[in-house]
Amino acid sequence: MVVDLDGVVIHKPDTDKRRYKKVVLANGLVVLLISDPDMVDQGDGGEGGNGAGAMGDDMASGSEDDDDDDDYDDDDDDDDDDSSEDSSSTKKAAVAMCVHTGSFSDFEEIPGVSHFLEHMLFMGSKDFPNENEYDSFLSKNGGASNAYTDMECTNYYFDVQPKGLRGGLQRFAGFFVSPLCKSDSVDREVQAVESEFVQALQNNAARLSQLRCHTAAEGTVHNKFTWGNFKSLIELPTSKGLVPRDLLLKYYKAEYSAERMSLVILGGEDLGTLETWAGDLFSRVPSGLGPPVSFSGQKKPFEGGRVYKLPMTKEGHELHVLFQLPCLHKFYESKPDDYVSHLIGHEGSNSLLSVLKSKGLVTQISAGVAQDGESRSTAGFMFNVTFVLTEAGLKFGDDGFGIVEYLFAYINLIKEIGPQKWIWDEIAQASKIKFKFAEEEEAMDYVQELAVNLRLYKTEHVLEGDYLHDRWDPELVKEILEYFKPSNMRVEVQSSSFKDRSLPEEEPWFKIPFSARRLSEEECERLAGFSDAPGIDLPPKNEYLPSDFSVRAQDFLQEERGGYEEAGKFVCPTPEALMAPPLLVSTSANTEAWYKFDRFFKTPRMASLLSFRLDDISSSAEQSVLLKLSTKVLEDMLVETTYLADVAGLTTFVYSCQDRLEIRIEGFSHKLPVLLEKILDGMANFTPTAERFEACKETLKRALKNSIAKPARHATYLRLISLVMESWPLEFQLEALDELTIAKCKGFISSLLAKGQRQVLIHGNITLNETQKVILDTKKHFSEDPPRAKCAKKLAELKPGQNFVHAALVQNKSEKNNASEVYFQVGPENHVDYAALSLLEQIMYEPFFDTLRTKEQLGYSVSCSLKNTYGMLGFCFSIVSAKFSPLHIEERVEAFIKDFFKVLSDMTDAEFKQHIQSAIEAKHQQDQTLIEEAERHWEQISMGRYDFFQRHHHAVEINKWGKEAFLAWFGKYFSLDSGDCKRLNVRIFNTDHEASVADERSYSAGDLMNFRDEVKVFTKKFSPPEKSGPQIT
């Protein structure tokens, strides 16, 4: 049945207690088995099993990344859907199958067939013919699923509560043994692919990727349309007399073979049991096609020395400089490209970014070979340097081309100085530490990564391969650097300013206008010898690399442990099955400090979390946007310090929520207090330069405008701005932003330090005595003015029977999608209603998705979920559709809700109890990492709840619900005929439905104040507990 490869020792982190075994089935399928001793098997591992969970929005679909990471996220703390998790022993099992074939292998007759097949494998198999059998089973057993198609691999994966693992495997195996690809399923699911394509049309990363495919040399595997849409998957083959379903099955038989697959199974069972399951279920996968196809030996896809320009759909400007490298897979132990990316992408002092920022030309840089199949494949690697430009940067040279000169000045300097071993040693040291003390990833993420790695790395390096920097090879580094030359370079400029230009060419699928030109010999020669960039140098040595990895929990003194446990009783009685809460160890007029010693994970890590609030921070649009701008400027000022720390394993987040500034530092504990002190010094000495201030102001302005460019984001924004009474419309914020000055930002930061209400949490590998010093050092930066009024949030509480409509037109006139949110409000937060909403999400999510997405094909993004907006509970149905208007979407949501009453009524007591148990188990998911636990506690502190066992309380309440009582509760809040139903509909119309926006029942953004006059005001107050643990003074 199997070839046993267990004799090879798989290198794993010191912190990893799991057991691993790699085997090869008789049909050639490679399998990695992982047995987790901490995973509780709560059932027999068969068909049955309970759990809670919901499928991701991209279930049964590709998961192409979104490009809008520069969007401004106002973070209104909505969707605080009980993410604080009690730490019981529940962990999830997970499985991934990577089929090592993808879009490079698409048939010419049906572009996008790889992606289409990925969708279709979810639609039933011979043993499990029902379309939603797999999804329904996972949902009932606490599971989620997804998949993505890349250039040389297609990865399918799921997670599930442990006792549902075997049942999940049985259904999953059908994907690769006997998929049905039924004709009616093909006809419907192609609409999902079409919707996904339409949703990507305004995505800047997708547009750039497609332009690269279009302009790649004919005959190369890059020269394809890989997304697939109705035209390429149905109309094109049909016009040639071909049957799309026949081509799907032909592709499956031509590319899907056991020798081209790698399977990872993570479960709580012993390795022998997992091996038996793998053999029983996956030995039936057909074989005979041989190993995965290699595309090595192909010519380069791009002609060097070319410059392309294309419009950006949102406000902003980006410059991409791409260099073509040979395939470097076999050099994974030395990773020469990492050396180059470390230098070019460095953000510390003397760096390329530092010099360009000082001139006000750029705001961000990234450099390296991305992890996607377009960037690294057997056909070659693509090293990309991306600059986010300011308005001044776009005007620097020919549409930013002056930036390219600075890039080559640094490249030429790196070549001249030659490879430096001390730089390599720092990279290798940081990577080695990160692997040695690696924390557990989410199970589903972990298995999908390992499924890919099984084909990339030697068996012993399957876990370690991504981190390995074991071989210093300066000659290889020099060889790679020779590819960084103008004749091997491709430049791409994306700018919103190009929307008004007449560009001569057009990409046929996305209809992207673009221009292309070839660099002259003179330009290439100038770049090759350019060196006039004063200030650029190699980075400084990294002072934040840790060397002390001692774990305090191993030497925890008995007297301190006793004092800690006794003090914990003051905060909250601790259920035996749950970990202790943090202690309130220091209080003063404006400061509360919390502390939690780690005795569970026993890792040399810690987290420090701080927040600063002013009670009038949302009193005006100016104050609101001043918080955002001051945060952005502070983050920019600190970046040369925080970047070095990040390289060394200390990550810093500086960001604004609606009513506070937060600083989070997480990572290795040795140097964290040093970094915290430097950050607070930076706040105390807040002195931005005029150039950087203006660049941050421009960045924020652009981000605010872009924040509602997507219909889904626009709909959420309108819902939140309706519910959060102290929020300010974007147009008010943009107007106020223009008037802000450096002096106002300095005054704001000073007020936070002097008058703000501060919260601190120190959690992890640090003793109480060490914490005392950290807190005292921290408090030196704070003034203790007289106590200010306690902060509170004002929220819109809809009146019983109210039904509001908030409508708007899409921001981007080229956007083809509509968006709709149908929000039902329940009322102020309490354990009983929260439990009911959690149970509702558990029962409703899968049938809602199956009905409106799979069967009715309303749109690609379909979801429903509990919403907790600063303590106001509700439930929201969200759909994005290019085919149907918000009015039609609302009708279908209403029809689903009416039908759902019958679903609940007809549900057997056994089925209802299964959902009860599933929802309870969802509340008992174990914290995977120390940081996850710290964030769970911090949420309770920063949101003013201080209910550290919230999920435990919710689980208790869920268990009390009976079917009849739940049906009555559902009818009260969700029946449109109920006098207690409170609803807010948000409609975002594309330009095809512009006339529908002006509905006499609807409010526009400009009517916001009138809307607020018609609702009640609920005030959520934040009050810390009165009792505490031992005080630090």
Q: In the block, which residue shows the tokens 């329940």?
A: 826
Just list the catalytic residues: 118, 189
Euclidean distance between the first and final Cα of the chain, in Å? 67
Distance set, CA 364 to CA 43, 265, 695 (Å):
50, 39, 11
**DSSP per residue, 389-446:** E-HHHHTSSGGGHHHHHHHHHHHHHHHHH---HHHHHHHHHHHHHHHHTPPPPPHHHH
Query: Within the chain, how many helices (H) and strands (E) appear?
Result: 32, 29
Please say whether the beta carbons of 790 and 817 come within 8 A: no
Please say whether the beta carbons of 159 and 93 come within 8 A: yes
**DSSP per residue, 722-789:** HHBTT---HHHHHHHHTT--HHHHHHHHHHHHHH-EEEEEEEES--HHHHHHHHHHHHTT---PSPPP
**DSSP single-letter state for residue 348:** S
The angle subtended at Cα 45 by Cα 44 and Cα 51, nearest 5°, is: 100
Reading the block at residue 589, the tokens are 């007029």
Report which of 25, 562, 13, 14 is spatially closest to residue 5, judged by C-alpha positions.
25
Q: In the block, which residue shows the tokens 């700018």?
A: 495
Burial class (CB in 10 A: 0-12, 13-18, 19+), 549: middle
Q: In the block, which residue shows the tokens 């709909």?
A: 715
Tell me what percent of the chain is helix, strand and coil, each rounded to the nearest 5: 40, 20, 40
Please say whether the beta carbons of 22 and 265 come within 8 A: no
Please say whether the beta carbons of 993 and 722 come within 8 A: no
Alpha-carbon distance of 717 to 699, in angstroms, equals 20
Report which of 559, 435, 92, 35 is spatially closest to residue 264, judged by C-alpha positions.
35
Amino acid in position 286: P
Alpha-carbon distance of 160 to 146, in angstroms, equals 12
Q: For 1030, what's the count of Cα atoms within 13 Å in the CB-facing half-sphere? A: 13
Q: For 242, what's the count of Cα atoms within 13 Å in the CB-facing half-sphere? A: 18
Determine how many CB atoms are found less than 10 A away from the CB of residue 738.
9
Q: What are the phi and psi torsion angles at 105 (to 5°)?
A: -100, 10
Q: For residue 506, what is the enclosing H or E element?
A: strand 505-507
Alpha-carbon distance of 987 to 1002, in angstroms, equals 9
Report which of 195, 144, 157, 209 is spatially closest to residue 372, judged by C-alpha positions.
209
Q: What is the 3-state secondary structure (H, E, C) of 801-845?
A: CCEEEEEEECCCCCCCCEEEEEEEEEEECCHHHHHHHHHHHHHHH
Determine how many CB atoms are found less than 10 A away from the CB of residue 884.
19
Alpha-carbon distance of 232 to 388, in angstroms, equals 34
**DSSP per residue, 858-910:** --SEEEEEEEEETTEEEEEEEEEESSS-HHHHHHHHHHHHHHHHHHHHH--HH
Amino acid in position 452: V
The angle subtended at Cα 48 by Cα 46 and Cα 53, nearest 5°, is: 115
Distance set, CA 945 to CA 183, 621, 939, 1021 (Å):
53, 27, 8, 9
